[in-house]
């Protein structure tokens, strides 16, 4: 697999597919509650990276943002695989309009795939006074334990279960 900037640009372009195609299709073809109070975005790894990007770019649409073991690329960096041009500077990781009801980030303490990138995102949110939940999963790697814990805690917080 070629992890070039073109590859990452495909992920970054998903925001357009989601907002311009998928969300209107869902609204037209399914009986769903709409509005940011009823709309969440969450993902694991590259999906977590996308969730941060989309959530911070379109807080008008998403009331809940979850990123579980989010991959590198939110900030400019070179990781063990490739260079990432970055989507925000750390000081730009700020909701430009009303913040979501919930922003949650998590990661396993033994995640060798994403390393300390999730914690870097957490630290930027802290420095920018952005309310969020951050937690680590002791001993979890880039695995089903991290995925399950992230999604479980995100969903139970959204629905107050």
Can you tell me the distance from the alpha carbon of 77 to that of 84, in angstroms, rounded to the nearest whole number? 5
Helix (H) or strand (E) holding 84: strand 83-84
Give the CATH number, domain containing residue 82: 3.40.50.1820
The total of structural domains in the chain comes to 1
pLDDT digits (tens, 9 = 90+) for 126-148: 999 999 999 999 999 999 999 99
Can you tell me the distance from the alpha carbon of 89 to that of 128, in angstroms, rounded to the nearest whole number? 11
Q: Taking the CA atoms of 143, 7, 22 and 51 in sequence, report the sign of the dihedral they define.
A: positive
Q: How confident is the model at residue 43 (pLDDT cuts 50, 70, 90)?
A: very high
Can you tell me the distance from the alpha carbon of 62 to that of 99, in angstroms, rounded to the nearest whole number? 9
Its domain, for residue 15, covers 5-158
pLDDT digits (tens, 9 = 90+) for 68-110: 999 999 999 998 888 999 999 999 999 988 999 999 999 999 9
How many other β-carbons are positioned within 10 Å of the β-carbon of residue 31? Answer: 6
Q: How confident is the model at residue 5 (pLDDT cuts 50, 70, 90)?
A: confident
């Amino acid at each position: 697999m070629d992890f070039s900037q073109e590859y990452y640009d495909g992920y970054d372009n998903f925001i357009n597919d989601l907002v311009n195609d998928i969300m209107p299709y869902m609204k037209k073809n399914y009986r769903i509650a709409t509005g940011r109070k009823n709309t969440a975005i969450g993902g694991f790894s590259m999906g977590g990276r996308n969730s941060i990007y989309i959530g911070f770019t379109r807080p008008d649409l998403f009331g809940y943002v979850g990123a579980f073991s989010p991959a590198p690329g939110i900030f400019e960096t070179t990781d063990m695989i490739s260079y990432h041009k970055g989507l925000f500077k750390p000081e730009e990781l700020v909701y430009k309009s009303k913040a979501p009801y919930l922003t949650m980030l998590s990661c396993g303490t033994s995640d060798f795939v994403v390393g300390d990138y999730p914690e870097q995102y957490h630290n930027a949110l802290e420095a920018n006074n952005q309310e969020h939940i951050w937690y680590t999963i002791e001993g979890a790697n880039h695995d089903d334990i991290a995925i399950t814990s992230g999604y479980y805690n995100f969903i139970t917080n959204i629905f107050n279960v």
